[in-house]
Amino acid sequence: MIEAAIKPDVHAFFDKRTSSVQYVVTDPETRHCAIIDAVLDFDEKSGATATVNADHILHHVDANGLTVEWILETHPHADHFSAAQYLRSKTGAATAIGSHIVEVQALWKKLYNWPEFSADGSQWDRLFVAGDRFNIGELDATVMFSPGHTLASITYVIGDAAFVHDTMFMPDGGTARTDFPGGSAEQLWRSIEAILALPDGTRVFVGHDYQPGGRDPQWESTVAEQKSSNIHISRCKSATEFVAMRQARDKTLPMPKLILAALQINMNGGRLPEAEANGQRYLKIPLNALGNPKWD
């Protein structure tokens, strides 16, 4: 694993509506940065979209004299739209996601009955594979394949910081669900083991915080803290225990309210549907496509 020669500056942006954490990760020497998992605002009640979150990030970039080198996604999100394409149009930075996105695209292309959709990952500028290395300014970064929550989940290790998104939450929040199409509790356990093999002092940045007990939002811990106090990891001493716990918990969870809307945007690199002949864009929601999920 890459040893951190430079400690990145990490600035987090919490979106209360989706409980999402977005990041700007900056090389303090060159002032080059990457944006990770940015949110495109969507109001499911009115069908309205907006760029409030993304514009807040762009304001931070401009105010601090940063140059955006990368727009990174950890996985295709099920609970918010991606602002990757909007940010690319504003910054010219390259977009990237894990190469296994093509498996997610193939799966959801069938669910949406979308035969013309290109399920080849071409919606991004780069598809990362496990072990890939890249730079943000002079910061060294590497990619870990972290499946389980989704088929395509990856972790970015940038200097001394690991961006794990839904693989783990803060220690009092546990771990990610694995009951989406293509999810696997067994794979999630192995992915967590690999992350926890990083040095104990590695900073761990999560992609969501659901504020257990009503506390203020949090997003940063360490590998050592996750090992010792994560409410799922510390209590499960084996893969068998973890899988049983995770699968039992998943059965109690309703699907995210935006999953069917979000996936058709996010597997397309954050692009909204093309306007139809009347100039209007439409989402396509398949009915009864996710089995028999728990209702709210």
Q: Which domain holds residue 226?
A: 9-263
Total domain count, the chain: 1
Report residue 23 as tokens. 């990041």
Instruction: Evaluate whether residue 289 is within a structural domain.
Output: no
Instruction: Evaluate whether residue 273 is within a structural domain.
Output: no
Task: Give the residue ranges of the chain where pLDDT is below 70.
Answer: 1-5
Instruction: Evaluate whether residue 151 is within a structural domain.
Output: yes
Instruction: Evaluate whether residue 276 is within a structural domain.
Output: no
CATH code of residue 24: 3.60.15.10
Task: Output the pLDDT for position 3.
Answer: 47
Instruction: Evaluate whether residue 274 is within a structural domain.
Output: no
Distance CA(203)–CA(225), nearest Å, equals 10
Q: How many residues does the chain have?
A: 296
* pLDDT per residue as tens digits for the range 216-272: 999 999 999 999 999 999 999 899 999 999 999 999 999 999 999 999 999 999 999
Task: Output the pLDDT for position 292.
Answer: 86
Burial class (CB in 10 A: 0-12, 13-18, 19+), 142: middle
Instruction: Evaluate whether residue 293 is within a structural domain.
Output: no
Instruction: Evaluate whether residue 282 is within a structural domain.
Output: no
Distance CA(286)–CA(83), nearest Å, equals 23
Task: Output the pLDDT for position 1.
Answer: 44
Task: Output the pLDDT for position 5.
Answer: 53
